[in-house]
Amino acid sequence: MHYPFKYSVQNLHESNDNNWTLWLAPSIADQQKAIFEQLKQPSLSADEELKREPHKRVIRLGNSVIKWQRYRDPRRLIKANVHANERLTRKEGGILRTEWLNNLYLQEVGVAIPAPTGFAEQRHLGLITAQATITEYLPDVLRLKDHIDDIELMAEKEPWMIEAINLARQLHELRLYHLDFHHQNILFQGQQRLLIDNEKLLHTESPNVALHAAMLGRLGYGLRYDPAEQSRYTELALPEIDVCAVETFRLALLGKITGKVLTALVERSGL
């Protein structure tokens, strides 16, 4: 992805400890010691554990969220260090550095996200072995899926779906395409929508209808209901924008488009 601005760390506080380099915004510089301890010993208890996978951990520490990832196996290590990329997304020196840069760009162009406040990187013998992003912690947020599941009436579900569709439209107008656009990566804090997990972000030379459709199809596919419920979705009053994209969302919501079809849409987008 091409970034139309030059990123600088000159306004961030840089520190080093045990092969880690940490860049922090002045607003959270007082958390430096606690963050270093978490980076060096990921098994330490935190205020809240939000996600855990074999090579990834997401925690809350004070007013920050730390996403930590280790590149231990050869495949991940190669990807992080020689920019071996997925076919459509360029990895800027490790997937979390990519996400950090994408977050800065999204913030620059006015897409609402949890504010990026820091980045950390561990190196051994010059090789990137682990990275972490630090973002602001936002209390009282709900994922889109949680909103939808907690609402009984279809008329009350529609506004939340439309907000998510409008977020996709905002990205489309900016020629930005999120290849992991689904109900788990869209948060709401009150009425404000926020986008997370932004490592797979594409910027195209011109608007790409196929990628817009794939984004909304992925969203609808994640929100689909049981066949007995699907008849309730046929009358959804969706925005009349980009007919192809909205119809893809509707068909995916009704379970009439599979994940393989959505993958094919991305593959045939012309990129």
| One-character DSSP codes across 133-197 | EEEE--SS-EEHHHHHHT---HHHHHHHHHHHHHHHHHHHHTTEEETT-SGGGEEEETTEEEE--
pLDDT score recorded for residue 89: 46
Burial of 168 (0-12, 13-18, 19+ CB in 10 A): buried
Helix then strand then coil, in percent of the chain rounded to 5, is 40, 25, 35
In DSSP terms, 14 is beta-bridged to: 23
> What pLDDT is stored for residue 2 in this prediction?
44
User: What whole-number distance in Å separates Cα of residue 128 and Cα of residue 79?
Assistant: 10
Amino acid identity, residue 172?
A: H
Helix residue ranges, H only, 24-152 = 32-40, 74-82, 95-108, 144-149
pLDDT number for residue 152: 66
How far is residue 202's CA from residue 179's CA, in Å, rounded to a whole number? 8
According to DSSP, residue 233 is labeled G
Please list the rounded mean pLDDT of every run of 10 residues in the chain (271 residues).
45 85 88 88 82 88 92 75 50 78 90 93 88 92 81 71 89 92 90 90 87 88 67 59 77 77 71 52
Query: Which pLDDT belongs to residue 178?
Result: 93
**pLDDT value of position 87:** 40
Q: Name, in order, each residue with C-beta under 8 angstroms of 264's C-beta and a sequence gap of 6 or more.
A: none
d(CA 1, CA 102): 9
Paired strand residues for 58 = 51, 67
Question: Residue 175 and residue 196: Cα distance in Å, rounded?
Answer: 18
Radius of gyration of the chain (CA): 20
Question: What is the distance between the alpha carbons of residues 176 and 192, in angstroms, rounded to a whole number?
Answer: 20
